[in-house]
């Protein structure tokens, strides 16, 4: 994979997903626990707020060598020197995102349908987000949950590295790895955990224990 990045434990977070705890504190603890990538996903905030938050996370993540991915906002990613962006099906097209971000950027793309997975085979993306695996409250407009069977089907349809997302926990981590997941993209499992560092460690440990 480009730039040697690691999808194993991929935290997706924003201020609202962390409840009353500061986002920066959650991210710092998660990195201590072994999170390998962090995506900043903010909705309904001003551009200035998005920039300030992204800059704060960049200062936390850079010394640890953990890539910062910005959801949707390519302008914010460029402004703070983020390692990449993650886009959805209604966001900026991948070819334009690649042109703006450059050949070394990490670009991820969310999948909502089987047809989109097949179409993505011709796109210059670095990983796909396959989900939701299970029903989730973190994204109100999500598509029908895939379950293990649906995740396995879509994973077999693509050559791209892929992360499982959607109410993913340590309990199902090994099973998802056995079905081809290259990593776990999590929100609540870390952001809402009493101890985000411990939660990250448990997710990594569970993912390493592949189930037959």
Residue-wise pLDDT tens digits, 186-208 = 999 999 999 999 999 999 999 99
Residue 138 is predicted with a pLDDT of 63
> If pLDDT is split at 50, 70 and 90, which confidence band does 33 have?
very high
Least confident of 53-57, 92-96, 207-211: 207-211
pLDDT at 180 over 90: yes
Q: Say which of 15, 73, 98, 110 is annotated catalytic.
A: 110
Q: Is 59 a catalytic residue?
A: no
pLDDT at 1 over 90: no
Enter the tokens of residue 85: 């962006």
Q: Is 139 a catalytic residue?
A: yes
pLDDT at 171 over 80: yes
Q: Say which of 139, 192, 198, 205 is annotated catalytic.
A: 139
What's CA 198's distance to the chain center, in Å? 19
* Residue 98, φ and ψ in degrees, nearest 5: -65, -40
> If pLDDT is split at 50, 70 and 90, which confidence band does 136 have?
confident
> If pLDDT is split at 50, 70 and 90, which confidence band does 35 have?
very high
Q: Is 167 a catalytic residue?
A: no
Q: Say which of 15, 17, 41, 167 is annotated catalytic.
A: 41
* Residue 86, φ and ψ in degrees, nearest 5: -120, 130
Reduce the secondary structure of the chain to three states and give it as a string: CHHHCCCCEEEEECCHHHCCCCHHHHHHHHHHHCCCEEEECCCCCCHHHHHHHHHHHHHHHHHHCCCEEEECCHHHHHHHCCCEEEECCCCCCHHHHHHHHCCCCEEEEEECCHHHHHHHHHCCCCEEEECCCCCCCCCCCCCCCCHHHHHHHHHHCCCCCEEEECCCCHHHHHHHHHCCCCEEEECHHHHCCCCHHHHHHHHHHHHHCCCC
Enter the tokens of residue 53: 């938050």
Tell me the pLDDT of the chain averaged across its residues.
94
Residue 209 is predicted with a pLDDT of 82
Which residue is it, tokens 């910062």? 68
Residue 103 is predicted with a pLDDT of 96
């Amino acid at each position: 994979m480009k730039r040697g990045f690691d999808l194993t434990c991929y935290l997706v977070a924003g201020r609202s997903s962390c409840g009353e705890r500061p986002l920066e504190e959650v991210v710092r603890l998660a990195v201590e626990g072994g999170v390998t990538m962090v995506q900043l996903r903010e909705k309904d905030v001003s551009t200035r707020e998005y920039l300030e938050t992204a800059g704060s996370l960049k200062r936390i993540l850079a010394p640890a060598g953990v890539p910062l991915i910005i959801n949707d906002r390519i302008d914010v990613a460029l402004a703070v020197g983020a390692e990449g962006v993650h886009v959805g099906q209604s966001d900026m097209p991948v070819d334009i995102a690649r042109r703006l971000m450059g050949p070394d950027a990490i670009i991820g793309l969310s999948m909502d349908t089987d047809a989109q997975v097949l179409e993505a085979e011709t796109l210059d993306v670095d990983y796909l987000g396959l989900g939701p695996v299970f029903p989730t409250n973190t994204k109100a407009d999500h598509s029908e949950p895939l379950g293990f069977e649906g995740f396995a089907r879509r994973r077999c349809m693509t050559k791209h590295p892929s992360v499982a997302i959607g109410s993913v926990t340590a309990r199902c981590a090994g099973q998802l790895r056995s079905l081809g997941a290259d990593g776990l993209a999590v929100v609540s499992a870390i952001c809402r955990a009493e101890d985000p560092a411990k939660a990250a460690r448990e997710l990594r440990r569970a993912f390493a224990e592949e189930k037959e």
